[in-house]
Amino acid sequence: MTAKIIDGKEFAANVRAQVATHVVRLKEEHGITPGLAVILVGEDPASEVYVRNKGKQTVEVGMHSVEHKLDADTTEEALLALIDQLNTDPAIHGILCQLPLPKHLNEELVINSIVPEKDVDGFHISNVGMLSTGQKSMVPCTPLGCLMMLRDHHGSLSGLNAVVVGRSNIVGKPMANLLLRDSCTVTIAHSRTKNIEELCRGADIVVAAVGRPEMITGDWIGKGATVIDVGINRIPHPEKEGKHKLVGDVHFASASQVAGAITPVPGGVGPMTIACLLANTVTACCRINGLAEPEGLTA
């Protein structure tokens, strides 16, 4: 069997096109332009690339984009004051503080100081609580992207057995909650899990969010299962000396021989993350203004 490749690039382009349509509607019918503010503290090169891409794509879908670059030694007080100002700014509907933050800043405190309705990353404790109790919330972007692709591939997820490998707050746990909400039977596996290969083999859906290059091989995957590979790992290129390549947490060559459908790395989950950030900003804008939410862009 050779798996169907779930094309995240194409899927993300489609999500962005839907977002752009809603942005036009909000502007024309209500005179509102959704606005996203991204805060970057310090000069982490990877974070700078992410923030640049976020800003570029925000503008491409017609939204208002604001970037706040703060020095690495910014005080907590100054950062909280900026968040306070954005919390009450009527032109801003989404606020994202790029993680990780420099060590002297308390990440939990900073994230929880963003008002939950503008928390487009879905990391505020209120949003985490609402997601886990099945209430309407802002949903973390990467798991939301995975859910969209799974719903598109399967239609209904009800009754399917899903194994989520990884229990982080930003991917594993919210992913498990979303799948549970769609009535999957969910197992969360982690570094202490026994018989992990066997658990994965029995699953209709495997979501890999581990951060270990190509750990999940084809013999872990049940015939015809759907594999969503969240992992992004930079490894030395096997053929080009001094170069690197990106691989997922799944060994694509072997897993794609067994799976029914699989996301590649790169070009799978990765492009969906920013697309879902834009979708969340439009959703936040609609909710803040008491307008109907865009269908298909929320969980």
What does the binding site for ligand NDP look like in residue numbers (CB under 6 A)? Answer: 142, 165-168, 170-172, 189-192, 196, 209-212, 230-233, 269-270, 273
The minimum distance between CB 215 and ligand NDP, in angstroms, equals 6
Question: Among residues 115 and 232, whose Cβ is nearest to ligand NDP?
Answer: 232
**Catalytic annotation on 121?**
yes
The minimum distance between CB 156 and ligand NDP, in angstroms, equals 25
- 187 token code pair: 């197992």
The minimum distance between CB 125 and ligand NDP, in angstroms, equals 18
Question: Among residues 46 and 91, whose Cβ is nearest to ligand NDP?
Answer: 46
Question: Among residues 53 and 75, whose Cβ is nearest to ligand NDP?
Answer: 53
Residue 248 CB burial class (10 angstroms; 0-12, 13-18, ≥19): buried
Residue 142 CB burial class (10 angstroms; 0-12, 13-18, ≥19): buried
The minimum distance between CB 84 and ligand NDP, in angstroms, equals 27
- Give me the helices (H) in 5-75, please: 8-30, 45-60
Question: Among residues 32 and 101, whose Cβ is nearest to ligand NDP?
Answer: 101
The minimum distance between CB 228 and ligand NDP, in angstroms, equals 10
Residue of minimal Cβ distance to ligand NDP: 168
Q: Are 185 and 164 in contact (CB under 8 A)?
A: no
Of 18, 118, 121, 249, catalytic: 121
Q: Are 73 and 13 in contact (CB under 8 A)?
A: no
Of 18, 57, 98, 118, catalytic: 98
Question: Among residues 82 and 196, whose Cβ is nearest to ligand NDP?
Answer: 196
**Catalytic annotation on 54?**
yes
Question: Among residues 196 and 299, whose Cβ is nearest to ligand NDP?
Answer: 196
Cβ partners under 8 Å of residue 62, min gap 6: 20, 23, 24, 27, 33
Place of tokens 């909000």: 26
Of 18, 54, 182, 249, catalytic: 54
- 13 token code pair: 């382009």
Q: Are 149 and 15 in contact (CB under 8 A)?
A: no
Distance, CA of 227 to CA of 210 (rounded, Å): 14
The minimum distance between CB 188 and ligand NDP, in angstroms, equals 8
Q: CA separation (Å) from 35 to 65, 79, 80, 281, 292?
A: 6, 19, 19, 7, 17
Distance, CA of 32 to CA of 171 (rounded, Å): 31
Active site residues: 54, 98, 121
